[in-house]
Amino acid sequence: MSSRRQASLLGESLRMPSSLWSATAIAGPTLKPLERSETADVIIVGAGYTGLSAAIHLAEAGLSCVVLDAAEPGWGASGRNNGQVIAGLKQDPEVIERLYPGEQGRKLVQFGSEAPTQVWELIKRHGIDCAANHRGWIQPAFTRTGFATVKARCEAWRQRGIHTRMLEGNELHILLGTNQYSLGWLDPRGGSVQPLSYARGLAQVAINLGVKIYAPSKVESLRSKDDQWIAETGQARVTGKHVLVATGAYAERLVPKLRTSFVPVRTAQVATRPLPDAMRKVILPKGHVSSDTRQLLTSFRLSPDGRLVMGGSGATAGLDHSAIVPYLHKAGEELFGHLGRLEWDFQWSGYFAVTTDHLPHVHEPERNLHISVGCNGRGIAVSTSLGIQLAKRILGMAAAELPVPVSSIGTVKFHVFRGLGVKAATVCKRLQDYLG
């Protein structure tokens, strides 16, 4: 294996990026690369939430697992996100039920709805130290169209038995700490985590249950022989009956066509210095987290150490996030600048996987090869839960029982022009937000 191939995934350095989360996370387990060949019941490629959650649930059921990560647990989107645990998939319940009429649609909606519960339960059961905060998620409307969206979303979930409620006027201003919005809804299923601590905590739980994690160990090839899967890292190999590819947006060429079945989209995050007490008491004073209805979704929360963390506000298909950061700073100023000076301290970014139907995909292109991809920016809860479902499938659950239907690997048209596509979509959405 050449050192150049070892050096990056989708062009990024394999070192943990400098971010607020890497500066404040719990320590990760000490790991070594795979040096000697091994066998296991299940090989897992990728130590993000999907792979680690699957590993924990497989180990609890008594299967041996080897997890291989090209960098380290949480290096991918799992250690770089905004930490907002949000219920539901990117598509609204009625859209999902229209796309999948009957039982399948109902199961998929329920899967998204219950996904945060799996996160809270896992954290509690294993005592993961990740500043978990289950105080709810607020989605305020950014434009007039957003008014209708938040009303419809709140009602859709209320009809499905969730105690959502509308927020308006003064109550909303107080709960957010800004009067930039006049209408929103509160989803009690949501909350927040320190995302890298959550990933590292999951890795430690997996190890405690007997899972072997090797990192940095990039899987360079996957092949099957005599009903066994073989994952080669260049240095050694792991042989196992099942393989789970949980490489998220960072999938390269391990599985044919997987890389072109979604678009890796980069989004950025910024964080201030710790805010003065007076500002902390006003911004999201009850501990909620929030993302608004902008086309270029804008998220904000306080970190466990009292900083304002903003995310979204733009996207790119390339490595450079510098064009997005000024929009995030501006959004922060517009929302909270009236409270005092915001001194920006950190900026970082990462890729998440966007599929054409904005839903997660599960593939089984060959016997005992399991793949999931495409959390579309809603991955903390959804990836954790998908990991559980994929573990059940490996343990023998019928494919038809999976809440996310097994599909063949599709291809995003004109994938080669994705850079232009993301750029055009960003400009268009920014204009829509401005006009709205």
- Residues in contact with ligand FAD by CB under 6 A are 9, 45-51, 68-71, 75-78, 80-84, 86, 218-219, 246-250, 252, 254, 267, 269, 299, 311, 349-352, 375, 377-381, 383
Taking the complex as a whole, the smallest distance from the CB of residue 371 to ligand FAD amounts, in Å, to: 11
Taking the complex as a whole, the smallest distance from the CB of residue 278 to ligand FAD amounts, in Å, to: 26
Taking the complex as a whole, the smallest distance from the CB of residue 200 to ligand FAD amounts, in Å, to: 12
Q: What amino acid occupies position 428? A: C
- For residues 171 and 254, which CB has a smaller minimum distance to ligand FAD in the complex? 254
- Cα 51 off chain centre by: 12
Taking the complex as a whole, the smallest distance from the CB of residue 67 to ligand FAD amounts, in Å, to: 9
| Cβ atoms 371, 245 nearer than 8 A | yes
| Contacts for 316-320: CB closer than 8 Å, 24+ residues apart | 316/265, 316/266, 316/419, 316/422, 316/423, 316/426, 317/263, 317/264, 317/265, 317/266, 317/418, 317/419, 317/421, 317/422, 317/423, 318/266, 318/419, 319/11, 319/12, 319/266
Taking the complex as a whole, the smallest distance from the CB of residue 14 to ligand FAD amounts, in Å, to: 7
| Cβ atoms 422, 263 nearer than 8 A | yes
Taking the complex as a whole, the smallest distance from the CB of residue 434 to ligand FAD amounts, in Å, to: 23
- For residues 173 and 287, which CB has a smaller minimum distance to ligand FAD in the complex? 287
- For residues 171 and 320, which CB has a smaller minimum distance to ligand FAD in the complex? 320
Cis peptide preceding 73, ω within 30 of 0: no
Tracing tokens 């649609």 back to the chain, one arrives at 105
Tracing tokens 């940095």 back to the chain, one arrives at 216
- For residues 16 and 279, which CB has a smaller minimum distance to ligand FAD in the complex? 16
- For residues 164 and 355, which CB has a smaller minimum distance to ligand FAD in the complex? 355
d(CA 368, CA 44): 12
Q: Name the residue among 204, 212, 219 with its Cα closest to residue 70.
A: 219
Residue 157 CA: distances (Å) to CA of 4, 143, 303, 375, 402: 48, 21, 28, 20, 22
d(CA 386, CA 295): 26
Name the β-bridge partners of 245.
45, 371
Taking the complex as a whole, the smallest distance from the CB of residue 195 to ligand FAD amounts, in Å, to: 7
- For residues 80 and 393, which CB has a smaller minimum distance to ligand FAD in the complex? 80
| Cβ atoms 266, 350 nearer than 8 A | yes
In the three-class reduction of DSSP (H, G, I as helix; E, B as strand; rest coil), residue 219 is classed as: coil
| Cβ atoms 167, 183 nearer than 8 A | yes
Q: For the residues of 55-117, what is the DSSP string, one character each?
A: HHHHHHTT--EEEE-SS-TT-SGGGTS--EE--S-SS-HHHHHHHSTTHHHHHHHHHHHHHHH
Q: Which residue is nearest to ligand FAD (CB)?
A: 379
Taking the complex as a whole, the smallest distance from the CB of residue 299 to ligand FAD amounts, in Å, to: 6
Taking the complex as a whole, the smallest distance from the CB of residue 92 to ligand FAD amounts, in Å, to: 16
d(CA 275, CA 196): 21
Taking the complex as a whole, the smallest distance from the CB of residue 13 to ligand FAD amounts, in Å, to: 11
- For residues 178 and 194, which CB has a smaller minimum distance to ligand FAD in the complex? 194
Taking the complex as a whole, the smallest distance from the CB of residue 378 to ligand FAD amounts, in Å, to: 5
d(CA 235, CA 214): 12
